[in-house]
Structure 1
């Protein structure tokens, strides 16, 4: 029954590497740009340290606009930008461009929500002791919210693992591309089953690891 799968083992290995590249780049971009954006969203919100209604509305609107795009449409809409940045629209690195652009506002909103769960009293105590905004962000907000941030990052990774599978529709490579080329177009049901099981296993492992790490970091 799984003769096709055995013959495609090298392809499966390559698809796992390609998926790792796509997800790794997008998650790295989310951490590098999405986390600061999420912190800024929180700080400029009503009643916060850097309250700025105008800036908050602008940033929040931009985040909402990008998040409102279905990923497949965003993937196609960003083809010109992808070609400009990496010189091609095919392959995992090219697919990582729209994935990254989608991941940044997605994680920014998760960061903002996690920071809102930090006790107001803890922030006020830090202000009363004369802590700077920088110190409050790094030593209070991010420290207190680290369990929530870990769970948010876990949700992000799991979500973009499935998004990366959609990138296979436009030649992004990865597990989704393998499922479409062999499982769907060539009617190789065993390949489709294995790719689905592979995604399920990856999600379970990532979620379990994220939950365990969040539990370890939660000192409440």
Structure 2
């Protein structure tokens, strides 16, 4: 049932007759209500639905990260949609119904800032992730003030840990704390850089899969 949250002169919300009202980015829109099809979906349609659902579900726990990390990719200006589009085009392997995500090909941040040189990650004595990179390459430039963005993700458990504004590039290292849920599992690890103004980013770097003890 449709609603008129702003009165009879305002936009509608939900289905009213043959139209559906919705709000996107603060603006009200109306579109035709979809018709139910009596035809069974084709193999191509089923394959596309699977790819869409797989990308959506894989990225969902990373929503706060990719909203910022991928906001400058494409023309949508919406980081999650951009990250999902990239994943569907470049990070899915196999054919329907045996389709999976290749974590090494996933992009969780995109931009023109330089990536880290000599980037690595290891497990420290406390069971947290210790990131290292070359701090000297961009010393004395504006890039030295960039902040690192860190991410660890266990897709099978839908468990993610991240830092959206970590140490400066000039520091050469940072630590990502992990909760007990990571213990005994393998996590895919990523890093990227973002300017202090939170506007420009680097492409994310996949640092591999690490076993958390």
Common fold: TM-score over 0.5: no
Q: TM-score scaled to structure 1, two decimals?
A: 0.23
Which of the pair is proportionally richer in helix? 1
Which of the pair is proportionally richer in strand? 2
Q: TM-score scaled to structure 2, two decimals?
A: 0.23
Q: Which has the larger radius of gyration?
A: 2
- Work out which structure has the larger RCO, using CA pairs closer than 8 Å and 6 or more positions apart in sequence: 1
